[in-house]
Amino acid sequence: GEKISAAFGIPLAAPVEMIASLYTVPFEMATSLKREDLHGFRDKIFSEYKIEIPAMTVNGKAYLRFSANVYNYSEEYDALIAVLKQIFGGKS
């Protein structure tokens, strides 16, 4: 959660010691989203980059859920961050 939050300048939703293997991050969008829009985004990420990431909307805001496990490598998160920065922008 720390790496992704830092990459996009999003404050952690809880203290680090409370964040386990699942972490949901809100992403700011220029316009309000419908569920179908975000599902299209999720499908595009998978088809183009082979990255599977749950995506949801609540009151028009986008949320992505990240899962960290022992079989994931730091480089995989770096690749995901790079893809998300292309789409959402973010801190350099």
Mean of pLDDT values over 23-50: 78
Rounded alpha-carbon distances, angstroms, from residue 5 to 9, 37, 43: 6, 23, 23
CB atoms within 10 A of CB 77: 15
Question: What is the tens place of the pLDDT at every residue in 42-79?
Answer: 888 899 988 888 888 887 778 888 887 878 888 888 98
Let me know how many helices (H) and strands (E) the chain has, helices first. 3, 3
What is the per-residue pLDDT for 71?
81
For the chain, the average pLDDT equals 79
